[in-house]
Amino acid sequence: MQLTILFDRLRWEEKALKKEGENEGCEASLLDAKGLVLEVSTPRKRNGLGDLALQRCISHYRALYLTKILENMSLEVVNSSAVTENCGNKLLTTLLLGKARIPTPKTYIALTPDTVPQAAEALGFPLVMKPMTGSWGRMVSLARDGETLQSMVELREQLQNPAEHMYYLQEFVKRPPRDIRAVVAGDEIAACVYRYAPEGEWRTNVARGGISKAFKPHGRVQGRAVSHARQHSPQNNQVRPFTGQEVDW
């Protein structure tokens, strides 16, 4: 099998994946997505791209659009564009989890800045405001009262991207100063860590100085993480998604 590993920043993980692919008997190659220029207006063959692609681009939109193009060439990509789209968007993830009745923090969407106070009243303070698309905890903000929330909304209104002018507001989960991140591959937990928030920070992201510590997940964590992951690709039995699930409790 020919495996293409797509990246936009080459880290040790991509090199390790190539090596593991080769150990498994694949012909694995690394491809820098930033160098690709693709003609998309006529149906294309997937010449030179192999049988399976691993999508490892860090940029959400680069990964999403490139995956859509490759799927259009009938190339199987892990993760699929549907998984990337759902997992990369907090609103879509919340809708999926809610539909599957998987416990998730109470969340409201206000479609204008004017309706934010209404959502805040329903949630109470403190509450968490997040961009719908984003990572590493960027712009994930804690509002302890209405005045702070109002200032946060005013700042968000100054941003150019219209998607930032809709507001994803969530109850603050009273958890220990750590949460759990489980990486699920297929129906198995490949890795699981406690993430501890650094001093003076409520978010646990490693990108914000959080510390990860490996731990062996017990049955409840296992069950929940796998059922979270399943919601992202229930129709795809061949290639299951590879997701990093956050389970806060």
Ligand X SMILES: Nc1ncnc2c1ncn2[C@@H]1O[C@H](COP(=O)(O)OP(=O)(O)OP(=O)(O)O)[C@@H](O)[C@H]1O
Binding site for ligand X (CB under 6 A): 105, 128, 130, 134-138, 140, 170, 172-173, 179, 203-205, 246
| Least separation in angstroms between CB 3 and ligand X | 26
Cα separation, 142 vs 189, in Å, equals 30
Using the minimum distance from each CB to Mg ion, give the nearer residue, 59 or 135. 135
The amino acid at 232:
H
| Cα–Cα distance, 20 to 4 (Å, whole number) | 13
DSSP label at 206?
A: G
- Residues 90-149 binding Mg ion (CB under 5 A) are 135
Strand partners, 244: 183
Q: Residue 176 CB, nearest distance to Mg ion (Å)?
A: 20
- The verdict on whether omega for the bond into residue 126 sits within 30 degrees of 0, i.e. cis, is yes
Q: 47 is written with which tokens?
A: 């010449």
Give the contacts of 168 (CB within 8 A, at least 6 positions apart).
90, 91, 94, 107, 108, 109, 129, 130, 131, 132
| Residue nearer to Mg ion on the CB measure, 118 or 249 | 249
**Cβ nearer to ligand X, comparing 46 with 208:** 208
Name the residue with the smallest CB distance to ligand X. 135
Residue least distant from Mg ion (Cβ): 135
Q: How far apart are CA 128 and CA 116, in angstroms?
A: 12
Q: How far is the CB of 52 from Mg ion (least distance, A)?
A: 25
Site map for Mg ion, 66-95, x if CB under 5 A?
Answer: ------------------------------
Nearer to Mg ion, 98 or 117 (CB): 98
